[in-house]
Amino acid sequence: MAGTEHQDFDPNDPGDAAAEAPSSSSGAPLLPDPGLIWQVFRRNFLLFCIVVLAILGLTGAIMATLTPQYFASASVLIEPTSEPIRTTGPNSDPNIVGVDEVDTEIALISSPLVAKRAAELYADRFASPDGDPFTADEIEAIGMRIGGITNVTRTGDVRVVDISAVSDDAAFTAAAANLVAEAYLVSQVEAKTARSDSSSEFINARLSELQRNAISTQAAVDQYRASRGLSSSNSGTNAEQEVSNLNTELAQARADLAEKRGRYNSAREQLTRGSGGADVGAALGSGTIASLRQQEATASARLAVLRERYGALYPERRQVEEELRDIRERIQDEIDRVLSNLEAEVQTAQSRVASLESSRGRALGVVRGNSVAQTGLSALEQKADAAQAIYESFLERSQESGALRNSAMPDATIASRAIVPTAPSSPNYVLIGLAGLVLALSAGLFAILVAEYLRRGVQTKRDVERRLKLRYAGAIPALSSTVKGRKALEPPHDYVIAHSHSLFAEAFRSIRTFLTLSPGARPRTIAITSALPGEGKTTTSVCIARTSAAEGLSVVLVDADLRRRGASVLMDYDNERDLRSYLTGEASLDECLKIDPLSGLAVLGTGDVPSSAYNPLTEAKVRELFDNLRERFDIVIVDTAPILGVAEGRILASAADRVLVITRWKNTSMRAVEAAVMMLVDAKAKITGLALSQVNIRKYASTGDGDVYAYTKKFQGYYQN
């Protein structure tokens, strides 16, 4: 057929890869494709279910083996009572309990002693299973059990202590928490009583001795005071206080004398220098002088004005002059009076200083006389006071100890009692179930990730286009995934003829259309190959050839796999003259062809050949064969040997107009396909695309997004399976 020459897909050509592979935007998407995630999940759904069910089953088995545990809690408030026998001090406060004290009480509550006391209380209140009183060994065992199931804690720095118990017996759990709280209070009372008894014995033994010591020391004080003529122990102190007071008064008197003498001397010096103005008034501290100086200034101003206007005999002028003389006389009189007062004050201050100095001298004499005697008296009084204080303290403690013996109270109260739990606190089946479910789902997803990471087979359209850089020719379903019953057992190459409108037959027509309508000239020779044996290339070759011939096209099927001759076996090719005969020139083309009666397909097959026969598939003969077949047939389908194992497959592929690679779905490794593609590229074969064979279309998403089988259910009315 005529047509323009075309360029087939080259995996090493970036232009072809860009043209055929799904295009991406300039930037990578921020989130993964939801459709791709769903496809990955669908193709690993069975693995996901197995992992999830296994973990859920394991979770259920674990839950079935767990023993229900019951929780009960009682709380104790640490509140100290006033101790009759107490330690006094500047920082002592019986109502303040520090963190260390509460921690100490927690340690006491958790001690084996309290647990044993709780067991004794339990034995007093409850009967043993056999009805007999508990033995000592049983009580000890109960104490060990109580100690093992109880826990003492507190939250923050509060004084409330929580006593919790956890066991498989609800009633015993509540009883254990309550009995530990009660045992702690009982042990406190017993400890206080024991301390009181011990203290009373010690105090009573010392009390008589302390009383005699207090009496003898006080008698020594009285005798010393009488022999030294000291009226009281405070006489020496009073004399010293008097000297101190006199020193204070003397200092004040001397300061007063210095002040008054300074004022007097300052005024005298100013008058001696001839000053009589306002500075003298300021020095004397007289407001009268200041007022008279102001009057003098006013009169002087008036007189100056009158002198300019009038003569000496002018009456008003003479009157002002007389007034001015009178003012100045009054100023002088006032100055003399103030100076006289200042002098008198100085003399009075001097007399007071002299009197205080005399009194101080007498007081110092008394102090010096009493100092020696007072020192001895003070020492005796201190000793007597100490003996009396110790005696009174022991006497008070003796009385308090007797009161404590009969009224001992614990330093704590039970804030709340434990109640018998009605439901187990653990295990939390809902939480364990949710955790198991989350773990199962996570493990299932992780298993999918591992499976995808370890996946080596070609499964999806995306694998073909993204990883292999090839065009996706389509997927060939496994016949058993399209029909059920006896039809699934029919040979595929016969099924496409008997059910030409089936989904299975449509898959081969779709691949043929892909091959013939690819860009470029219409192909005449199509080589169908694979990387490994058993991938379905022979079945694909036969089915494409039969469906094409059944539609009226002139098609020839060439079985070029001289060793396996799979197509010849399927088509019952039994001619004596075969492809080998034609290539060696022993027979003509017509002698070697056999017509399929059901489809009209011409078959150029291969017969049984001895292992010693040479290989006639040389490049020149293959090209000559293809040229002859192009002249007689519309389509030439060539079934080649696997590329990786047989060299002539590359010769056939390089001479063909189109090459279709068949890969078994989920079976052939990616590396094998890549190696086969590289060999074809090296042979300059025109690879048109890759088709997946034996696909289970019930897992429609497994072939990738964009594949027709993702929409199979929507086209059920178009197929007659």
Strand, coil or helix: 218: helix
* Separation in Å, CA 601 to CA 425, 623, 637, 641, 690: 79, 22, 11, 21, 24
Please check whether residue 310 is in contact with residue 224, taking contact to mean a CB–CB distance below 8 angstroms.
no
Query: What confidence tier does 275 reach under pLDDT thresholds 50, 70, 90?
Result: low
Rounded CA-CA distance 402/203 in Å is: 11
Instruction: Tell me the per-residue pLDDT of 369-417, one tens digit each, with 9 for 90 and over.
Output: 666 667 777 788 888 888 788 878 877 777 776 666 666 678 888 889 9
Mean pLDDT of the region 61-84: 83
Confidence at residue 716, expressed as pLDDT on a 0 to 100 scale: 63
Residue 426 DSSP class:
B
Q: What is the mean pLDDT of the chain?
A: 81
Cross-strand partners of 637 = 526, 557
Instruction: Tell me the per-residue pLDDT of 491-511, one tens digit each, with 9 for 90 and over.
Output: 998 999 988 888 899 999 999
Model confidence at 6: pLDDT above 70: no
Strand, coil or helix: 695: strand
Residue 706 DSSP class:
T
Confidence at residue 721, expressed as pLDDT on a 0 to 100 scale: 62
* Separation in Å, CA 589 to CA 478, 572, 596: 35, 18, 16
Concatenated DSSP letters for 455-473? Answer: --B--SHHIIIIIS---EE
Domains of the chain: 235-406 (1.10.287), 459-708 (3.40.50.300)
Mean pLDDT of the region 655-675: 92
User: Which of 566, 547, 572, 562 lies closest to 476, judged by CA?
Assistant: 547
Confidence at residue 371, expressed as pLDDT on a 0 to 100 scale: 66
- Burial of 385-412, coded b for 16+ CB within 10 Å and e otherwise, reads eebbeebeebeebbebbeebeeebebbb
Query: What confidence tier does 172 reach under pLDDT thresholds 50, 70, 90?
Result: very high
Query: What confidence tier does 92 reach under pLDDT thresholds 50, 70, 90?
Result: very low
Greater pLDDT, 266 or 438: 438
- How many other CB atoms are there within 10 angstroms of residue 347's CB atom? 11
Mean pLDDT of the region 455-473: 87
Rounded CA-CA distance 690/528 in Å is: 10
CB proximity list for 60: less than 8 A, separation 6 or greater: 436
β-pairing verdict for 687-695 and 70-78: unpaired
Instruction: Tell me the per-residue pLDDT of 8-45, one tens digit each, with 9 for 90 and over.
Output: 444 444 334 333 444 344 444 566 777 778 877 877 88
Confidence at residue 236, expressed as pLDDT on a 0 to 100 scale: 55
Instruction: Tell me the per-residue pLDDT of 341-354, one tens digit each, with 9 for 90 and over.
Output: 888 888 888 888 88
